[in-house]
Amino acid sequence: MSLDLINLIVQSTWESLFMVATSALIATLFGLPLGIFLATSRKGELFAAPAVNSILGVVVNATRSTPFIILVVAIIPFTRLVAGTSIGSGAAIVPLTIAATPFIARLVEGAIREVDAGLIETASSFGASPLQVVFKVLIPEALPGLVLALTLAVVSLLGYSAMVGAVGGGGLGDLGIRYGYQRFMPDMMVAVVVVLIALVQTVQTVGDYLARRVNRRLRHR
């Protein structure tokens, strides 16, 4: 493989990392509070609003059930409105964020619901406000699960970032399609797959390590 192709792989890897990191950060900023609200807004819970909970649940489920490649194409006008274009790694952040936000929200909801209800009742009985319960009980107790949830979300985003290359999103997926598929260069396709596997393995290893560290701290408090 020539030096020019190696440089292309390095550049495309950085584009993919940029897309994934940015969309993961934005999706977490939206998905984390959304997931907490979904986990605490049913009837009789901290922020009881069952009607709003049901509506948000439908929206989240509808977005999650839409195949990603269809979502990318369907929101092209919105992507152009936000990013000024529908191609390139910058534009790809828009559909990646929209796809990841409900996914993260459901993962966060599951992690929060794993917290022992007795801890919530105890904190409330001592006069803690709903927000204090969230920040001092729910999030700290659910932290290992939240770390694993965000790890899973980043791994999924790496896969999505490869798919978005099919519609000019840039990154490793675009490189694999333009060179590996359209120019019949199997060695380039193999290189792209190897890099993606390495990135996924790295993210999963780091996420598992952080979750174990957080879990140990909780046990030794």
Q: Where are the domains of the chain?
A: 3-219
Q: How many residues does the chain have?
A: 221
Which of 4, 150, 12 has its CA nearest to residue 92?
A: 12
- Using one digit for the tens of pLDDT, what is the confidence trace for 130-184? 889 999 899 999 999 999 999 999 999 998 988 887 777 778 888 888 777 677 7
3-219 folds as MetI-like fold (1.10.3720)
- Using one digit for the tens of pLDDT, what is the confidence trace for 206-218? 999 999 988 776 6
Q: How many CB atoms lie within 10 A of CB 119?
A: 14
What Rg do the C-alpha atoms of the chain give, in angstroms? 20
